[in-house]
């Protein structure tokens, strides 16, 4: 048993930002961060394009950024949240600078601003094409300077502790008291008791085999919150990034940042035809949902497996300076961007929905907060505007910190039960986990992809039901193992994506169903 004041699940931008703020403000209180991989492994680490912030008052304005966000979200954003997040952006960015994160400057010494799809102005601050890596570096450095933070890497949060785990509890209200956490190195399960718990566990990209996300993105926090009966919304809005490097084997895919299109790269089919102007007047810089759906349509028309991003006309010196990582990765894949077009295809990238939170980051469960990609704040609506995600995490981490600074949380004055694994054994059939994972990813790719239909979604629910029963059975009889828990979580998350897709009756942003063409 470990007792703490604040438990943070996840060490990406959302979790680390909150941890740093609360630990600095209350040096006598304890903060524990658990994270299931190496301490820096997260979607944050791979963020390329940057953070969308209004800094250039001459060309840009809050109003323009607000408008771009609302248009991308296709009428489903919460306008008051959009305004709050965008107006707070510059202050939160200043804090990042104070904590030592470096961002590129232009020759005049101003912040170098990039442009991405759906943005009407240049407003994306960045550190070359490895912005997330730089933010993660700076935040972890701060974390290690604060003695009241304990960071436990390779610790996997299995489930939230709520009334469901308390014997003889007949409370109607479900509250959160911490989490059961697996030490992945020793196999021991810790009861981590906390007055306040923050889920900052990131996205769900791995539910689809073909994704820009690293292996940690298995939707654990959303699944835990769902099992604890928290409100979850907008799960049908999966964002597919239009330009992941084509990888014949599927699986993980390296991202070619949207900022490359902002720099002037053009999308072509294999005949060399530039097709995006046929779909949207903003062409390559239309919002992500439109570019991904257009590529999908081109691939269906031609039967090709991928399209191409043409950078051959661009200033190569400027390209190498802005995108050194992308340039190197292409070379490693035998693509010389000066001469060759880059083969690209859409891949699952970001979840716009998630655990419902209010402006203080409160979920529907008392003492449970959530921040970052695992949440549904109302900022993104049906489709996130590029580079609004790091911004959202920074702003909400601050709001959650502010809430905790101004409100006390009751101490827990009863004993939490230890994890009970009576009657379970070490599973002998690991093949079942691997087989079901591959089946799940194929199901989500083929039945719940960029273009959906009622028939495919209904079939998907039936297939999933079968997998759910098999995996629940295995889970109940097995000693806890990370891969099995992740599979169970991904099945929960897939269920939410499919069932909420079936509930939607019109096409919006990232949700496109061929049966709703006339709605």
Catalytic (active-site) positions: 288
Residues 361-390 that bind ligand FAD (CB under 6 A): 372-373, 387-390
In the complex, least distance from residue 17 CB atom to ligand FAD, rounded to whole angstroms = 8
Residue 287 carries which DSSP code? Answer: -
Q: Which does 373 bind (CB under 5 to 8 A by kind): ligand FAD, ligand SIN, none?
A: ligand FAD
Q: Report in angstroms how near the CB of residue 179 gets to ligand SIN at its nearest.
A: 28
**Can you tell me the distance from the alpha carbon of 484 to that of 492, in angstroms, rounded to the nearest whole number?**
13
Residue of 5, 148, 194, 201 interacting with ligand FAD (CB under 6 A):
201
Nearer to ligand FAD, 130 or 460 (CB): 130
Q: What's the CA gap between 99 and 104, in Å, rounded?
A: 16
To ligand FAD, the closest distance from the beta carbon of 167 in angstroms equals 25
Q: Which residues make Cβ contacts (< 8 Å) with residue 243, sequence separation at least 6?
A: 255, 256, 257, 258, 260, 261, 267, 309, 342, 344, 346
Rule CB under 6 A: say whether 202 interacts with ligand FAD. yes
Smaller CB separation from ligand SIN, 330 or 471: 330
Q: Give the integer Cα–Cα distance in Å for 290 and 154.
A: 38
> Residue 47 or 232: which CB sits closer to ligand SIN?
47
Q: How far is the CB of 126 from ligand FAD (least distance, A)?
A: 7
**Shortest CA distance to 35 belongs to which of 214, 228, 216?**
216
Number of residues that bind ligand FAD (CB under 6 A): 43
> Which of ligand FAD, ligand SIN, none is residue 196 near (CB under 5 to 8 Å by kind)?
none
Residue choice 33, 225, 259, 444 for contact with ligand SIN (CB under 6 A): 259
Which residue from 5, 7, 18, 43 is in contact with ligand FAD, where contact means CB under 6 A? 43
Non-local (6+) Cβ contacts of 118 within 8 A are 68, 71, 72, 282, 285, 286, 287, 288, 385, 386
If one asks whether residue 327 binds ligand FAD (CB under 6 A), the answer comes out as no
Of the pair 380, 488, the CB lying nearest ligand SIN is at 380
Measured from the CB atom, the residue of 49 and 346 that comes closer to ligand SIN is: 49
Q: Radius of gyration over alpha carbons of the chain, in Å?
A: 22
Half-sphere exposure of 493 (CA within 13 A, CB side): 32
Secondary structure tally for the chain: helices H, strands E: 13, 17
Return the one option of ligand SIN, ligand FAD, none that residue 131 interacts with (CB less than 5 to 8 A, by type). Answer: ligand FAD
Nearest CB to ligand SIN, comparing residues 293 and 363: 293
State the minimum distance, in angstroms, from the CB of residue 202 to ligand FAD: 3
Nearest residue to ligand SIN on Cβ basis: 49
| 118 lies in the binding site for ligand FAD (CB under 6 A) | no
Tokens of 516: 């709703």
Rounded Cα distance between 467 and 440, Å, is: 8
User: Looking up tokens 């994160």, which residue turns up?
Assistant: 101
Per-residue interface string for the shown chain with ligand FAD, residues 336-365, x marking contact by CB under 6 A: --------------x---------------
Contact 99, 295 (CB under 8 A): no
Residue 216 interacts, among ligand SIN, ligand FAD, none and using kind-specific CB cut-offs from 5 to 8 Å, with ligand FAD
CA dihedral over 133, 139, 141, 144, signed as positive or negative = negative
3-state secondary structure of 93: helix
Q: Which stretch binds ligand SIN (CB under 6 A): 75-83, 257-265, 310-318, 441-449?
A: 257-265
Q: Which is nearer to ligand SIN, 49 or 205 (CB)?
A: 49
DSSP 449: S
State whether residue 239 is helix, strand or coil: strand
Mind giving me the DSSP string for 158-177?
EEEEEGGGSTT---SS--EE
CB of 114 to ligand FAD, least distance (A): 9
Q: Which stretch binds ligand FAD (CB under 6 A): 41-49, 104-112, 281-289, 432-440?
A: 41-49
Q: Does the protein bind ligand FAD through residue 275 (CB under 6 A)?
A: no
Q: What is the Cα–Cα distance from 83 to 79, expressed in whole angstroms?
A: 6
Over the window 373 to 402, marking each residue x when it contacts ligand SIN by CB under 6 A and - when it does not, the resulting string is -------------xx-x-------------
- State whether the Cα torsion 456-459-464-470 is positive or negative: negative
Contact partners, residue 172, CB within 8 Å, separation at least 6? none
- DSSP code string of 322-347: H-HHHHHHHHHTT--TTTSPEEEEEE
Instruction: Please name the residue ranges forming H helices in 105-206.
Output: 131-145
Residue number, 37 or 205, with CB nearest to ligand SIN: 205
Cβ burial of 473 (10 Å; 0-12, 13-18, 19+) is exposed
> Does 258 engage in binding with ligand SIN (CB under 6 A)?
yes
Which residues make up the interface to ligand FAD (CB under 6 A)? Answer: 9-15, 34-37, 41-44, 46-51, 131-132, 156-157, 200-203, 212-213, 216, 220-221, 255, 350, 372-373, 387-390, 393
Which residues make up the interface to ligand SIN (CB under 6 A)? Answer: 48-49, 257-259, 350, 386-387, 389
């Amino acid at each position: 048993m470990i007792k703490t004041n604040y438990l943070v699940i996840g060490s990406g931008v959302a979790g680390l930002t909150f941890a740093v703020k609360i630990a600095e403000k209350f040096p006598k209180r304890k903060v524990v961060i658990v994270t299931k991989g190496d301490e820096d492994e997260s979607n944050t680490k791979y963020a390329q394009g940057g953070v969308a912030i209004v800094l250039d008052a001459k060309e840009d304005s809050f109003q323009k950024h607000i408008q771009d966000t609302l248009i991308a979200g296709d009428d489903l954003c919460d306008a008051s949240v959009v305004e709050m997040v965008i107006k707070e952006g510059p202050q939160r960015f200043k804090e990042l600078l104070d904590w030592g994160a470096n961002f590129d400057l232009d020759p005049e010494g101003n912040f170098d601003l990039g442009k991405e799809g759906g943005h009407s102005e240049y407003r994306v601050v960045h550190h070359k094409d490895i912005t997330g890596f730089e933010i993660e570096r700076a935040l972890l450095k701060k974390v290690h300077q604060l003695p009241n933070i304990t960071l436990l890497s390779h610790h996997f949060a299995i489930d939230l502790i709520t009334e469901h785990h308390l014997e003889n509890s007949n409370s109607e209200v479900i509250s959160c008291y911490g989490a059961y956490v697996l030490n992945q190195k020793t196999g021991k399960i810790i009861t981590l008791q906390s007055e306040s718990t923050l889920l900052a566990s990131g996205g769900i990209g791995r539910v689809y085999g073909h994704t820009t996300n690293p292996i940690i993105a298995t939707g654990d926090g959303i699944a835990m919150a769902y099992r604890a009966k928290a409100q979850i919304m907008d799960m049908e809005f999966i964002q597919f990034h239009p330009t992941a490097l084509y990888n014949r084997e599927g699986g993980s895919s390296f991202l070619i940042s949207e900022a490359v299109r902002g720099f002037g790269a053009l999308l072509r089919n294999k005949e060399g035809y530039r097709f995006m102007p046929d779909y949207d007047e903003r062409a390559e810089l239309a919002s992500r949902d439109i570019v991904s759906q257009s590529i999908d349509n081109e691939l269906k028309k031609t039967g090709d497996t991928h399209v191409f991003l043409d950078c051959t006309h661009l200033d190569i010196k400027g390209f190498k300076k802005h995108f050194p990582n992308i340039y190197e990765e292409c070379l490693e894949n035998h693509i010389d961007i000066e001469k060759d077009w880059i083969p690209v295809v859409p891949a699952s990238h970001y979840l716009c929905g998630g655990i419902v939170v209010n402006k203080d980051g409160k979920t529907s469960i008392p003492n449970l907060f959530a921040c970052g990609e695992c949440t549904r704040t109302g900022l993104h609506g049906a489709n996130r505007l590029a580079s609004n995600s790091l911004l959202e995490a920074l702003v909400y981490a601050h709001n959650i910190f502010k809430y905790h600074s101004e409100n006390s949380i009751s101490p827990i004055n009863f004993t939490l039960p230890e994890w009970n694994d009576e009657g379970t054994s070490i599973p002998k059939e690991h093949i079942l986990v691997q087989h079901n994972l591959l089946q799940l990813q194929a199901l989500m790719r083929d039945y719940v992809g960029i273009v959906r239909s009622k028939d495919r979604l209904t079939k998907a629910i039936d297939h999933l039901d079968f997998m759910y029963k098999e995996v629940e059975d295995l889970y109940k009889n097995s000693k806890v193992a990370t891969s099995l828990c992740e599979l169970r979580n991904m099945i929960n998350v897939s269920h939410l994506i499919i069932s909420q897709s079936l509930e939607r009756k019109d096409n919006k942003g990232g949700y496109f169903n061929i049966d709703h063409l006339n709605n």
